[in-house]
Structure 1
């Protein structure tokens, strides 16, 4: 890769990093902070508002394969530009919704559109821009995007002290329009055709998958299931982290300990950027899932002791950070760059469906079985995901 093409790739990563911070911050991380005000305003209970958000995430999962196919056909950058317009309109629709049912519909449509502007689309854009450098660029991108929660949680909290949630959503709609749309439009222009097709003007060379064609269907099923199990284990812990730690006796310290999740997530991506070349993408997925499972086991064994809770938050955060990289790099490594959007979309769909269902199941388990047993069961689910990744990694080592 020439110095000029390297600079162009880094510029694209930086630009996409900005849109990922804004996208995840305005469309995902802000919701939990604004949800109580939303519920009171539109006449719904908090449970109904969060239930609507879960349903929206589920709908986004079902839409992911279709979106992946559109990215392959029309170019990921073009779809991201369309997504920015859709998110702007839908955030505005949320803000002006006079009734609970219209608000719920707008939330669901917003989360479906989110799939056009977040990781699934950004990873596809990087693969289409430069398949050979995509794994490295995905790592750089997740490092930048990892600051989304650290930036937008305090921004949203500060705005909530001065504005209503409707005004905040209009501000967030403006950010998607003013910041994200121009970036995505520039990347979709003719001078950046490599963002849309691996045969673009920059001469990008497609990446061949590590698996033989006769193994691909079987591997797709196994890897998708492994990502679903891993996503289930992570989502169970992430959604319930603060109240679970509080129930285990940490009290006010539960928030402080949980806050370690974000920095650990970013730090793990930085470490992977420096040392990650030693692990294959399937190895990264195994390591990520192992950290998530290990964190749950340690918390269960230490029974909520502060030291155990700290290690738990750090371990889960690091597992989540590395897992984001694996989500983008594993499909590319196993199946190649041709049709990457559709392949990654199918994997994303299974993972999101499992992640959307996980919080309810884990809450039921904690109620019926207690927190320690639930944590151990959740770790066992993660371990099954590790077995799936390890099996596919073995197929690769045996020659695909």
Structure 2
């Protein structure tokens, strides 16, 4: 098997595990939360509060997970994470009271730090060499189907089983599909490491003032994560509050195809676009989408436009999450850098589900969305400053610059 063929196989394997990982550990929560709240006789805001606490725990462990990926290989970390994810989801399924469920959700987020994008990106940086940034783009293209598959799938499963059984099923997917694929990727990584050494990589963009730029990167991703988490955890019930009713699920299902479309567009027309510029473009789309939704609601075409624009923005941002740190700082210590970025992002994102849930009840949907749009605008300004500071360096293409 040639290096190109084996790289493609690895990307497809990671794509499958990321679809299942994000679908079972992240996207399904907003569909399951109302039933969980009803069974435990809690306000749904408290169930989202559980997720906020869990995201904090996941963020706290992210630098450690990134360091393990650098030291022992990302593929091994992914394999261990698959087992952890299956156990965590099973604990959620077994939960007979709110405290046990909270413990399960915390375990879910701890496992997420080992099995989702940060570790997958680290694997591609370690194993695909000069094709790392292109490989990251391909991976995000495949994994973009996670929400499209798991939002309606979770809703459909709840018609024939309760949320406990759904969690057991999701645990099985991680154990029976993701774990074998991650074990195979461990072998792939060993083979990749034995390939002949590559030419010296292009120097990172952040050759001067790197510490300041890194702080800005953490702030930018944290703000974007807050906006994204707030919307993704509430998109279906929020659209209902805005008068979309049952159409909310259909509108939300457009989010995934829009993510995929953004990555296809980037691959076709954005190859020469430097990573810092792509970050500004993707960040701009999120507040723009929120403004469209507020100004057009409850019109269905406006909601569709919102889902498409927001999906395009978050789709591009998934690429930026891997390519921007790689372009700015290079491959050395890449896993740990992603871990620190995840720490900042998840710490701020942890407050998002609970904060938006409270805001929706206290302010209503439209004022809450204006607040989120303002946070998104600040995020755009941060990435614009990163772009300005990096312009003195060599701006290589976001999807083609070698690692």
So what's the TM-score if we normalise by structure 1?
0.90
Stretch deviating more after TM superposition (16-25 or 246-255): 246-255
Between the two proteins, the alignment pairs up a number of residues equal to 394
Distance 1:293 1:205, change over 3 A: farther
State the distance in 2 between where 1:368 and 1:225 align: 27
For residues 194 and 9 of structure 1, the distance between their equivalents in structure 2, rounded to whole angstroms, comes to: 11
Contact kept? 1:208, 1:335, Cα under 8 Å: no
2:12 aligns with: 14
Q: Does 1:301 align with 2:295?
A: yes
Offset from partner CA, 1:198-253 (integer Å, 9 cap, x none) = x6545355645533444111100011111112222223333333343333343443
Alignment pair present for 1:176 and 2:162: no
Q: Which moved more, 1:265-274 or 1:146-155?
A: 146-155
Number of the residue aligned with 2:165: 167
TM-score (structure 2 length as normaliser):
0.89
Partner of 1:118: 116
Distance in 2 (alpha carbons) for counterparts of 1:94 and 1:373: 34
CA pair 43-241 structure 1, distance change in 2 beyond 3 A: closer
CA RMSD of aligned residues (A): 2.4
Structure 1 segment 1-150 matched on structure 2, within 5 A? 4-41=2-39, 44-150=42-148
Match in the other structure for 2:267:
273
Deviations 1:32-80 (A, max 9, x none): 3333443455565533333212221221122111111111111100000
Paired residues for 1:366-385 under 5 Å: 371-385=365-379
> How many angstroms does 1:82 deviate by?
0.6
Pair 181,365 (structure 1): closer, same or farther in 2 beyond 3 Å: closer
Where do 1:229-240 residues align within 5 Å? 229-240=223-234
CA contact 2:30–2:234 (8 Å) conserved in 1: no
For structure 1, the residue ranges without an aligned partner over 5 or more in a row are none
Q: Distance in 1 between matches of 2:259 and 2:286?
A: 12
User: Using the alignment, how far apart are the partners of 1:7 and 1:335 within structure 2?
Assistant: 28
Q: Output one character per residue of 1:241-272: Cα deviation in whole Å (capped at 9) or x when no partner.
A: 33433333434433333332222122111211
Assess if the C-alpha contact under 8 Å between 1:80 and 1:184 holds in 2: yes
TM-fit CA distance, 1:112? 0.8
* Alpha-carbon offset, residue 366 of structure 1: 5.1
Match of 2:397 in 1: none
Runs of 5+ unmatched residues, structure 2 = 395-403
| Structure of greater relative contact order (alpha carbons < 8 Å, 6+ residues apart) | 2
Whole-angstrom distance in 1 between the partners of 2:356 and 2:95: 32
- 8 Å CA contact retained: 1:16, 1:122: yes
Distance 1:364 1:249, change over 3 A: same
Q: Per the alignment, do residues 304 and 333 of structure 1 end up closer, same or farther by CA in structure 2, a change over 3 Å counting?
A: same
Asked if residue 219 in structure 1 is aligned to residue 213 in structure 2, the reply is yes
The correspondence of residues 187-336 of structure 1 with structure 2, limited to 5 A, is: 187-189=185-187, 192-193=189-190, 200-204=194-198, 207-336=201-330
Q: CA separation in 2, counterparts of 1:164 and 1:238? A: 22
